[in-house]
Structure 1
Amino acid sequence: MAATATSVPVHPKAAAALVAAFTLVAMIALAVAWEWWLAPLRPGGSLLVLKALPLLSALPGVWRRRLYTMQWASMLILLYFAEGVVRGWSEHGLSARLGWLQAALAVIFFTCTLAYVGPFKRAAKRAAKHAAGEPPPPA
């Protein structure tokens, strides 16, 4: 007897969600430290420290492993990846290294969120096909 899409449980990758949450915390800490005292655009800090706020707003949902938050945060993180690459290439010294670190953290976060959300998306797709009356794929 073949299992239907509705009877197949989703096995999320808890480790991916945990790494995503810790990576997000690291990105928040990096944004604040970078723009306040490590290598701010202006001596004494800059208002660019506010770039940590969107990441901070995603933290509760990512920590609770909410799919919707994980999805929009994975798209948001691409802006931080782009900023990290631009600043890594265009700046020098510590600021360039921090840019590359930000880009690397963004890639880790993006990969982990996709790994966590993927099984849910596949299960939803199987359930939609089942609801539409399509036969399940052969085992």
Structure 2
Amino acid sequence: MNNPRTVHLLAVTCYLSLFALLMAWLIWLAPPAPEYRSIALIFLVGPLLLPLRGILHARRYTFSWSGMLILIYFVHGIASMAAAGPARWLGAIEIVLSLSYFILAIRYLRITGSKAANKTHSR
């Protein structure tokens, strides 16, 4: 898994899957009370929209700071695991997706960073 395109594609897949999971969770699978639904969507799904363009365009800087952003969803997944019902398994899926994206983002940064370093050192 040293191909940057493959790692980027897997990272984008995990990121978009996390986005889809949260949308389905908050709208259909286990929605909060109707008066809190829009607030939950803004605060849980909204931050995922901020780095989306940079992630889709494979920008290294966006991968670096979105890796820190995604840890919020890891913590949210752990907190959701303490709840009963469907929130427990939804939290488990959220943990897997956020951790997968974090690992893939770090891997992408290492792969593309070493190639950029080799290009500057070879001159």
TM-score by length of 2: 0.83
RMSD: 2.1
Unaligned runs of 5+ in 1: 1-10, 131-139
1:40 is matched with 31
Name the one with the larger helix percent. 2
- Deviation readout 1:66-102 (Å, 9 max, x if unpaired): 00111111110011001101111x1011111101100
Confirm or deny: 8 A CA contact 1:37 1:45 kept in the other structure. no
Measured after TM superposition, the shift of residue 116 of structure 1 is 0.6
2:97 is matched with 105
Unaligned runs of 5+ in 2: none
Confirm or deny: 8 A CA contact 1:61 1:69 kept in the other structure. yes
1:64 is matched with 57
Measured after TM superposition, the shift of residue 45 of structure 1 is 6.3
Specify the code of the residue in structure 2 equivalent to 1:77. I
Confirm or deny: 8 A CA contact 1:80 1:103 kept in the other structure. yes
Report the identity percentage: 30
TM-score by length of 1: 0.75
